[in-house]
Amino acid sequence: MTDESPLVLVVEDEPDLADLYAAWLADGYRVRTAYGGCEALDALDEEVAVVLLDRRMPDLSGDEVLTAVRDRGIDCRVAMVTAVEPDFDVLEMGFDDYLVKPVTKEALRETVSNLHLRSAYDAGVQELFSLASKRALLESEKGETELRDSEEYADLDERIRALRSDLDDALRTIDDHDAFVGICRDLERGGSANDFADY
């Protein structure tokens, strides 16, 4: 684990359980723990990549913490990890995954891995859209010879190819159907199908 490892915020009002989740994740992630909703809001910042959030807590519910996360515009993924069985109210909630306790180490680690992968994939998609837009602009304004002779255009084209390859590799590593569905939802929110016809 390095300083570049993703930061996971574990929010759980049972300290022993919060510490157990943190221990399960410690070899691959940086972990912060918060033993309640108010403490979670204090621990939340732009560095947090994934939040594991209990729904039922005495001081501030997980639903309220989730609303605060989204209201603050924090760019992180949130998985509810809770004993509360899901009902139709979850359709209006802004979480990315939902685990019903008890959860296994493998399920927790897989969820965090998939959510982090979705974040990285989403950032890659945004960059690919940006670069593809710039390439299209140049192609509409410059002649074929000028483009062929441009080192900057060649670098741009190579960056687009490399990024597409990275995104393809990321898709191949997804071993969970729900994570794949989540990425597809991210793509639908992020842009037009014409730009990503191969996906």
pTM of the model: 0.68
Instruction: Answer yes or no: is 111 within a domain.
Output: no
What is the per-residue pLDDT for 30?
97
What is the per-residue pLDDT for 173?
63
Instruction: Answer yes or no: is 167 within a domain.
Output: yes
- Whether residue 91 is found in the same domain as residue 59: yes
Low-confidence ranges of the chain (pLDDT < 70): 1-3, 126, 170-171, 173-199
User: Where among 103, 135, 152 does a domain terminate?
Assistant: 103
What is the per-residue pLDDT for 165?
86
Instruction: Answer yes or no: is 87 within a domain.
Output: yes
What would the DSSP string read from start to end of 12-49?
A: -SSHHHHHHHHHHHTTTSEEEEESSHHHHHHH--TTEE
